[in-house]
Amino acid sequence: MNLIDEWPERDRPWATRYMVAVSQPEVSSAAIDARTRELISALREADTPADALFGDPGEIAEEDVRVLGTNEEAVSASEGGGARQGLNFIGTALTFLGVSSALVMLTRGVWRMDVELGPLCIVFGILGAAIAANLAWTLFVAGRTGWTLVVGAGGLAFMAGCIWFAATVGPGHLLIAGVPFWVLMIGMTLPGVLVLLVARLVPRRPLRAAWADDQWLRRFRGAMRSQGLSGELAREHERSVRAGIDEGEGGYYAEFGHPVVLARSLAMDDNPAAIRRWRWSSSFQVAVPLLMCVLVSFSESFGAWRSPAMIFLFVSGMVTAYTSWRHRPEVRQR
């Protein structure tokens, strides 16, 4: 049964606003579930509307996130938290790419298409690069910087190889003539949907609990950088942690817990790291629609939809830039 349905009818709008605000990556679904039941039970006892008893849903949710949220849950739910989360992230990105491409074909009114070897190679190159880019991001978030570089470089090399092969074979190598639109659409969306289905089959596992000391340190180092800490500060933390182990007993995991969780808890209180994370995420969110806008301006594929698509992408980029600027972290002097 949906949790919202358990709320008294009159309080459901309040409950929806509360649930949206409290559903943050650092709060587990079990904690949200338990807290929601507490609120419902208090409401029934008091027999008073939720806004009169609890006040603003945003404020109470913010306080609950502060109390119930943990770094362990945030790391576990992140793209780098495990195979299931990583596959979900990659599958969502691929599905978005596939659906967008299908929509472009739809706007052009292409109902049948000849599939040639050269363009097909380029499509495979782009698909390979997209998978590699998303996989590299999940590895970066998990603090595996070495593998991030390997996968990123591998994706670029694969795409370059596909483009080179397409240029070598040249145009005119017809593979299949007159493929219907719906077949192409399935072909474009299938990789993403398949990855999402596989993700559903993979169980969500708890965070890894067995670490050799050198593995732990490597991952801690990588995670600190992926959380936005400066190189100098990361080295200082590593030195402190090493000294802490010399004073204490047992290995790094026994003393400091999961390396990515520790890195996150250090980065959350570091103002320059918060500013760096904000810069990375804002730049990406603004650059993507603007870059797409530029690509659409050079493309003939959109026909009459080119100008509306460009305006939509440009406005999206501007709105994202404005929203992001309004939510920028405050610069604090140490």
Partner 1 sequence: MSLAGWQRASLPMLILSVLESQPRHGYGVSQALVKVGLQPIKGAQLYPTLVKLEADGAISATWEPAASGPARKVYSISGPGREQLATLRLEWERFSKAARALGV
Query: Applying CB under 8 A, does 220 fall inside the site for partner 1?
Result: no
Query: From residue 64 to residue 103, what is the string marking binding to partner 1 with x (rule CB under 8 A)?
Result: ----------------------------------------
* Alpha-carbon span 107 to 113, nearest angstrom: 14
Question: With contact defined as beta carbons under 8 Å apart, do 128 and 208 qualify?
Answer: no
With CB under 8 A as the contact rule, the residue among 87, 104, 129, 261 that binds partner 1 is 261
Query: Applying CB under 8 A, does 104 fall inside the site for partner 1?
Result: no
* Alpha-carbon span 120 to 143, nearest angstrom: 34
What is the signed CA dihedral for 9, 13, 17, 22, rounded to 10 degrees? 0
* Alpha-carbon span 194 to 91, nearest angstrom: 7
3-state DSSP call for residue 91?
A: helix
Question: With contact defined as beta carbons under 8 Å apart, do 76 and 205 qualify?
Answer: no
State which residue, 190 or 254, has the beta carbon closest to partner 1.
Answer: 254
Question: C-beta of 252: minimal distance to partner 1 in Å?
Answer: 9
With CB under 8 A as the contact rule, the residue among 266, 286, 293, 313 that binds partner 1 is 266
Query: Applying CB under 8 A, does 221 fall inside the site for partner 1?
Result: no
123 CB burial (10 A radius; 0-12, 13-18, 19+): middle
Query: By CB under 8 A, how many residues form the interface with partner 1?
Result: 23
Question: C-beta of 273: minimal distance to partner 1 in Å?
Answer: 11
Query: Applying CB under 8 A, does 47 fall inside the site for partner 1?
Result: no
Question: C-beta of 21: minimal distance to partner 1 in Å?
Answer: 24
Find the helix or strand (DSSP H, E) in which 175 lies: strand 174-180
Question: C-beta of 329: minimal distance to partner 1 in Å?
Answer: 14
With CB under 8 A as the contact rule, the residue among 94, 97, 131, 241 that binds partner 1 is 241
DSSP 78: S
Question: C-beta of 246: minimal distance to partner 1 in Å?
Answer: 6
Query: From residue 267 to residue 296, what is the string marking binding to partner 1 with x (rule CB under 8 A)?
Result: --xxx-------------------------
* Alpha-carbon span 191 to 131, nearest angstrom: 10
Find the helix or strand (DSSP H, E) in which 280 lies: helix 271-298
Residues 6+ apart with CB under 8 A from 118: 166, 167, 169, 170, 171, 173
Query: Applying CB under 8 A, does 116 fall inside the site for partner 1?
Result: no
Query: From residue 51 to residue 70, what is the string marking binding to partner 1 with x (rule CB under 8 A)?
Result: --------------------
Query: Applying CB under 8 A, does 313 fall inside the site for partner 1?
Result: no
Which residues of the shown chain bind partner 1 in the complex (CB under 8 A)?
A: 237, 239-248, 254-257, 261-262, 265-266, 269-271, 334
